[in-house]
Structure 1
Amino acid sequence: MHKWTIGVVPQGGHTTGSKGSSESKEKSITFRPEKDYNTIDDQKDYEDPDYFYDVGTPSKTSNDRIISPPPVPTSSRPTHIAIHNTTKTATPRWRVILLGVGLFVACFLLVITLFAFFMLQSQGSYSPFDLKSNGDSSKHSQSGNRKSRDMEITPNHLLTLLITKRKVCLFEVTGGNESEGRDLFLRDHIETARLMFHSNLSHAGVPVHPLQFQRFARSQGVDDDCHVILYDRGQMIWSTYAMWIFRLFGHNRVSLLSGGYTGWKNQQERSTQYRTEQNEIARRRLGDFHSSWNDSLIITYDDVFENAEIDEYDIVDAQAKEEYLGLASGALFGHIKGARNIPVEVVYDWGTSQWRDQPQMQAAFSSSALSPKRSVIVYCSTSLRSSMVWWALTRSGYSARIYFGGWPEWVVRAPDDLKILGDSIHNTN
């Protein structure tokens, strides 16, 4: 096969169209000397692009190629030293385990702390009676005595609390003429007592808002864990209402001072330890009382109306007998259908300013067909007298609630067949 190339003219080669030997070396087309014909190699040269475009380079045939030497075998001996760290680091799994253990311990300690806190609180708080009674008067009397210690304390007990510096919040509650009540308080009151008006607790017979009461209680230095003791000038009607308000708004450790201010002054004649003071001492410390809503002590019109069908509660009217019968003048008096009349005189002696004995109260409740196994609704016209009957019922082991709307709301809203007026009393069964 004939091959053509641009290059140096070999010896014995044939040139065409040349003008000189020097020019022929660069521009003449020469005929490559013949070699042995090899189809495979010649074909490779023909397909090799360097064959046509590389000038002055030797032909890259199979004979001209440089054979690379074989690779050097790897050494059997290591050329470097691998350093292995034998120290094991903590894996994320161990971190998660340690975090879980820490959280478990923290939760366990929190549960123990809360349990101890509630146990301490329950020791000093008021615990209600078991309403399941078997009719045994001796057991009922014992339970009544235990409740009496929570709801009422004697002057001697109060003196002990003051001498031992217990956490006591003592209030003198007054109502009606506030200016007169303030003058009496500034003239003389039990030592460390603070003045509380009925208007701080209720507006037109309706309890104030819980947050409003919380603000007032805190301004008087009342804390969640203090023992609130209430007294008045002998009426007892103001202090029992204040006690109901305190418990309604979540403060359960509340007691009445037996005999009130009069009982304390009687003890003062026997011992100078029963101290009184004049004027009002400015107290700047704020309490931390948190108000809540105890719906087990209050009931509304809708609940009383529904009770006419389901008969879940016994209803007690705390009005005077003439008002209950509709015989009193000045307003439209009467009572809720099915209500029993228990006036304040049945549970409280106005002459001696003392509560009736427990057997007397229990006899009055039994004669009115009240059972400790059933809850009781108490109402009157302003919630003041009903608070006294509520206190007596609660002290005797009954679960009682106050219908604060009372007769004024019922006579306006209730249907005629559920209210008993003066002329229709004798026609009822």
Structure 2
Amino acid sequence: MQKWSVGVRPKEYETKTVEDVYNTVEEVDTKEYEDPDYFYDELGRVRRTEKRMAKKVPMIATPPPIPPPMTPTHIAIHNPKNSTSKRWKIACVSATVTLLAVFILATILSFFFFVSSASSFQKESYGLPRPSMESSLLSKRSDMEITPNHLLTLLITKRKICILEAASGDEMKSRDAFSLDHIESARLIFHSNMSHAGVPVHPLQFQRFARSQGIDNDCHIIVYDRGQMIWSAYTVWIFKLFGHQKVSLLSGGYLGWKTHQARSGQYKTEQGDAPGKPRQGDFLASWNDSVIITYDDVLLNTEIDNFDVVDAQTKEEFLGTAQGALYGHIKGARNIPVDAVYDWAVGQWKAADHLKGLFNNNALSLRKPVIVYCSTSLRSAMVWWALTRSGYNGKIYFGGWPEWVVRAPDGLKVIGTTSES
């Protein structure tokens, strides 16, 4: 049992403060016996100590506030492969960028090398003809004209071709001749199906007619006539005008085919009208302004001189000495009549060298487009065909001299025997 001292609290009931914990004053033990003097003296000291301690506020540590519960926003998953994957991605991107840079550099170097090589090649080959231009010209010639032998090959191999016989101005006579004999599988096309009074029909009207003849966009159209060549050349121009991409003229026409037939029975002809109504074609007509020109364009050309002008009339008509009408020509035009490009005696076009010399003598340049005109567009179509076959860019002025003599200013037309200034 714990011994109590008079006037002294047990130690476990003392309220300790910070000053008591860190008190360095040594306390005096209480006497174990009852000494009156000591008792009163000690009692006074204890009371003074209690008063002093009553003034002190014990320090009670206040705990911090409890934080609110935290809601996890993501889950951290430890993936040991993640760092390795990132390194591989960085390596792949770096390699791709490097390869791309090397490729671009190699392309630039190759380009400069090619340019330098091409320029040196041009210097070495200066003055020589360009093979590309030659091959392009040969390709254009082969597209413009087809021989009877070539046509026979297309028939035997059953290629997709459409053979058309161009009728003359006399439709009844042309129909009778066609019924008596014509090239196998050919169909007859009349001038009225293509033109009215020298003016081409509307594209939709021609499209409707072409489809009724079973003509498609991708078929190879081959045109011939009975030897005049003027009607077939005009038909070729009309198909070019309305946007067909592959049209050829049969060399020698019907007479040339018959000449080959006399030597071989493979060059077949047939009698009667064309076979039954063909299937409906899918030809889609358009307007090709690269082969045609109007009055306003020709009038403007008298000021800017962007085109050479060729008159396809006869020499007498060109000079205005022919009888029966008011003949003449556009001021500044060169006269190249049909007889100069086609040999009527043998039924063949003049040789390429002859045509080249003819056009050069008339100061025609391959770099300059050519306007061709006559009185009905028929003769101008023949000269246009010869020009195109020779590599020139020809355009037909379909109004021709009849329109020019009426609409053009007097100073831009030469009538009669008046000489140009």
Shared fold (TM-score, shorter chain, > 0.5): yes
Question: In the alignment, which of 267, 272, 288 is matched to residue 274 of structure 1?
Answer: 267
Unaligned regions of 5+ residues in structure 1, if any?
1-133
Aligned to 1:183: 176
Question: In the alignment, which of 141, 151, 154 is matched to residue 147 of structure 2?
Answer: 154
TM-aligned CA distance change 1:205 to 1:190, over 3 Å = same
Aligned to 1:367: 361
CA distance in 2, matches of 1:140, 1:420: 38
1:412 aligns with 2:406: yes
Aligned to 1:222: 215
The answer to whether the 8 A contact 1:144-1:358 is kept is no
Deviation readout 1:49-69 (Å, 9 max, x if unpaired): xxxxxxxxxxxxxxxxxxxxx
Aligned partner of 1:282: which letter? G
CA distance in 2, matches of 1:183, 1:141: 43
Task: Report 1:20-169 matches (<5 A).
Answer: 136=129, 143-169=136-162
Please, what TM-score do these two structures have when normalized by structure 2? 0.68
The answer to whether the 8 A contact 1:141-1:358 is kept is no
Aligned to 2:318: 324
Aligned partner of 1:254: which letter? V
Deviation readout 1:238-263 (Å, 9 max, x if unpaired): 00100000010000200000000001
- 1:268 Cα shift? 0.5
Task: Count residues with an aligned counterpart.
Answer: 295
- 1:140 Cα shift? 6.9
- 1:144 Cα shift? 3.9
Q: Alpha carbon RMSD of aligned pairs, Å?
A: 1.7
> Percent identity between the aligned chains?
66
Please, what TM-score do these two structures have when normalized by structure 1? 0.67
CA distance in 2, matches of 1:354, 1:328: 27
CA distance in 1, matches of 2:134, 2:258: 30
Aligned to 1:399: 393
Aligned to 1:335: 329
- 1:284 Cα shift? 3.2
Task: Report 1:281-300 matches (<5 A).
Answer: 281-300=275-294
Aligned to 2:370: 376
1:344 aligns with 2:338: yes
- 1:146 Cα shift? 2.7
TM-aligned CA distance change 1:394 to 1:282, over 3 Å = same
TM-aligned CA distance change 1:331 to 1:252, over 3 Å = same
Runs of 4+ in 1 over 6 A off after TM superposition: 137-141
What secondary structure does 1:401 align onto? strand
1:171 aligns with 2:164: yes
- 1:135 Cα shift? 9.0
Aligned to 1:211: 204
1:235 aligns with 2:223: no
Aligned partner of 2:279: which letter? R
CA distance in 1, matches of 2:303, 2:245: 32
Unaligned regions of 5+ residues in structure 2, if any?
1-126
CA distance in 1, matches of 2:172, 2:376: 21
What secondary structure does 1:256 align onto? strand
CA distance in 2, matches of 1:226, 1:195: 17
What secondary structure does 2:266 align onto? coil
Deviation readout 1:160-207 (Å, 9 max, x if unpaired): 101111000000001211000000000000000000011111000000
What secondary structure does 1:287 align onto? coil
Aligned to 1:78: none
The answer to whether the 8 A contact 1:175-1:199 is kept is no
CA distance in 1, matches of 2:129, 2:326: 42
Aligned partner of 1:353: which letter? G
CA distance in 2, matches of 1:340, 1:136: 28
Task: Report 1:5-24 matches (<5 A).
Answer: none
TM-aligned CA distance change 1:379 to 1:277, over 3 Å = same
Deviation readout 1:206-225 (Å, 9 max, x if unpaired): 00000000000000000000
What secondary structure does 1:266 align onto? helix
CA distance in 2, matches of 1:423, 1:388: 26
CA distance in 2, matches of 1:164, 1:139: 30
